[in-house]
Amino acid sequence: MSIDASRWLMTAPGTPMVRSSFLAAPQAGEVVVAIAGCGVCHTDLGYFYDGVRTKQPLPLALGHEISGRVVDAGEGAEGWLGKSVIVPAVLPCGECDLCKRGLSTICRAQKMPGNDIQGGFASHIVVPGRGLCEVDPVRLQRAGLELAQVSIVADALTTPFQAVRRAGVTQGSLAIVVGTGGVGGYCVQVARAFGATVVAIDVDDAKLAAIKEHGAALTLNSRQLDGKAIKAAVNAFARANGLRSTEWLIFECSGSAAGQLTAYGLLVHGATLSVVGFTMDKVEVRLSNLMAFDARALGNWGCPPEHYPAALDLVLDGKVQIAPFVETHPLQEINAVFEAVHRHEIRKRVVLVP
């Protein structure tokens, strides 16, 4: 089946998005997904406003937080026809040595919509069938959610899920999340679902108030406290609540230089620093602190597709709330939405609906 679909393309850094059309036909192993929704991630803003390069040359449709229904399938992928799915933000090949050794997040043949291949700010997308995450419509309805809303699972939820899982969060852990926006807010909820007591740090009192209702046991505004005062406050909180003063699990989700410096300043003995947010800014730190504290730093790029069902279960079982933090807009408003998100005028995660 051929599909005539409207696309919104980035033509060059900082230039307007324009409509185009294309004919899509799946090859062997591929599927065509009719998009229900695609989330606007700050990575998209980085491509559009900040000069971050995409792997595929422009023009390119951005968007990598995608949910929808499979409406066509190539040879070998017919089993996906008619199913509701989430498209992983990073699709590994599944066949290379890295993938076979469980290192699919660094697969060199991986495909990221809106970076390596055409993205989800469109009516349809062609993607590999391998690794799709099926969404049960019955469970979705019982959770009171629309298919478009769970598009954000593809990155905003699964990326912190992978970070929390890799860091080793368990019952009794003290987790500290720096930056409680689109990704950080879900990081707080996921860490709490894994059994941690969570400290949330941000510069926005409204965001801190919102996340305090969804998993944060302590909130701190880093505009009102310097690094030493923040560390002292966390230490006092840990002592008062019978938590360890060592082995803190720190998640930098702000994607800002200030947030990264705050996170690094929270290192204690045996700490794990997980870098989840991205910024083009540079920071100056003393790496020897990692040695002195016998600490470790981890980068986090996406989430292996095999962990998507477990992350989605947290949402469908009500352990992670997404509805209070998501708002939908028509796809044709993409330019205005990008500008509003870029100016920090929209606090929630925006999902664009074709």
Place of tokens 């979705």: 140
Place of tokens 């990704």: 183
Q: Write down the domain spans for the chain.
A: 3-155+303-353, 159-299
Quote the CA–CA distance of 158 and 189 in Å, as a whole number: 12
Which has the closest alpha carbon to 45: 58, 59, 64, 18?
64
**Contact (Cβ atoms closer than 8 angstroms) between residue 21 and residue 119:** no
The predicted pLDDT at position 347 comes to 86
> 78-126 pLDDT, tens per residue?
999 999 999 999 999 999 999 999 999 999 999 999 999 999 999 999 9
Quote the CA–CA distance of 89 and 82 in Å, as a whole number: 21
Amino acid at 203: V
Place of tokens 């919104």: 8
* The two structure tokens encoding residue 168: 């080793």
Quote the CA–CA distance of 238 and 232 in Å, as a whole number: 10
> 51-84 pLDDT, tens per residue?
899 999 999 999 999 999 999 999 999 999 999 9
Beta partners for 31?
73, 127
SS3 82: coil
Architecture category of domain 159-299 in CATH: 3-Layer(aba) Sandwich (3.40)
**CATH code of domain 3-155+303-353:** 3.90.180.10
**Contacts for 281 with CB less than 8 Å, ≥ 6 apart:** 256, 257
pLDDT over 80 at 7, yes or no: no
State the pTM of this model: 0.92
Pick the range with the lowest mean pLDDT from 18-32, 45-59, 150-164, 270-284. Answer: 18-32
If you count them, how many residues does the chain have? 354
Quote the CA–CA distance of 177 and 181 in Å, as a whole number: 10
Provide the mean pLDDT of the chain. 93
